[in-house]
Amino acid sequence: MKVVIIGAQWGDEGKGKIVDYLAEDAQYVVRYAGGPNAGHTIVVDGKQFALHQVPSGILYPNKTVFLGAGMVIDPEALFAELDMLKENGINWEGRVFISDRAHLILPRYRQMDKARDAERKRPIGTTGRGIGIAYSEKAQRDGLRLADLDWNEKIAEFEREDKIFLDKYKERLLSMRVDLTAQMWEKQNANILFEGAQGAMLDIDSGTYPYVSSGASCAAGAATGCGIGPHDLDKILGVFKAYETRVGNGPMPSEFNETSEGELCEYVRKTGREYGVTTGRARRCGYLDLVALRYACRVNSMDGLVLTHLDIYDAMEEIEACVAYNINGKIVTDFPANVEQMASAKPVLEKFTGWKTELKNCKSYDELPKEARTYIEYIEDFTSTPVDIISVGYEREQTFIRRPVWK
């Protein structure tokens, strides 16, 4: 069975933890998009791991993981990450493989990335990791794939500094190179978990363009990024937080007003540890945007949702969620494509009674307080999508399943 995990918001939803949790019942984990800007935080037995390119399933000693064709890979960052895992007792050798169709990030791309964003009239807020440049080179058919490393004529096209850099990593990269389509065909009867990067609202086609990532963070990207067809995807789950966050520029209609809601914003940011794993930047925070979440469910054909960070609201008397937008006096209930409209949108809020109870020890849905269940059921009704998994803390075991995933 093949299960896809994507972010249902603007990234940072807790995908890493959920992939790690579900990987126990998977034989293989495949990361299908993104690059070293995607920070996935996993806490196991009180120990925190920050992964950026390596799929989260690597923390299980018997799992094999793949970096997919839809990724852009920074060799220097990748091997630094693998070294970190080894230093922490994770034996990864022979368990990490890379699609021969994945593209590579060269060091000079980082400065190019920062310079290009600085020159924009409307900066995107890039992490400056060279990812956008690598995807641009790919789209222009000038990129460098893992498959090209032993194509001498192709390598000759690159600058001297590029060649020196590639020579440093060439043999190690080639030793990890695989034909991912052949691997997926061979393993078609196994349980395979496909791990997305960023979030649905940052997808280059269906997200808040131009304030999006350069890759395919949608569910369909799991097929194109892993060398399989869409019929081979059996289940799609979208991870979302009980509130909203975003990093970088771009519209976010439900964002807390820093003037009138600054105290609430600071509480959610500190309690939820809303600082970038990769950059350390404070994330923008806001009310759960149900309009955007419903759109993400529809455009990605989600079979179920995964709710994280529900415990962040434990101490609150009342919580609110965005159920519509007020755009220049007009109530809008569908997610608009027009960025100018999105920028002027004001959230229409629905109030819910808080539960004033710690959730971290809840082991099932029935153990949740009635107020928390009411909030969840409203989300399900609004999005027409069931909440299949709920996370009530950072630890792996602070998670419970309402509907079986691998069936």
260/77 Cα distance (integer angstroms): 41
336/360 Cα distance (integer angstroms): 36
For residue 40, which of 214, 221, 195, 173 has the smallest C-alpha distance? 195
Cβ atoms of residues 355 and 371 within 8 Å? yes
110/129 Cα distance (integer angstroms): 5
Rounded-to-5 percentages of helix, strand, coil across the chain? 35, 25, 45
Instruction: Please list the alpha-helical segments (H only) found in 88-218.
Output: 108-119, 131-139, 152-155, 160-175, 180-186
The residues that bridge with 6 in the sheet, in sequence order, are: 238
Cβ atoms of residues 244 and 252 within 8 Å? yes
Pairing of strands 318-327, 330-332: antiparallel
179 noted as active-site residue: no
Cβ atoms of residues 250 and 211 within 8 Å? yes
**Residue the block writes with tokens 């990812």:** 131
231 noted as active-site residue: no
Q: Based on DSSP, count helices (H) and strands (E) in the chain, helices before strands.
A: 12, 20
341/338 Cα distance (integer angstroms): 5
40, 52, 103, 309: the active-site residue: 40
**Residues carrying an active site annotation:** 12, 40
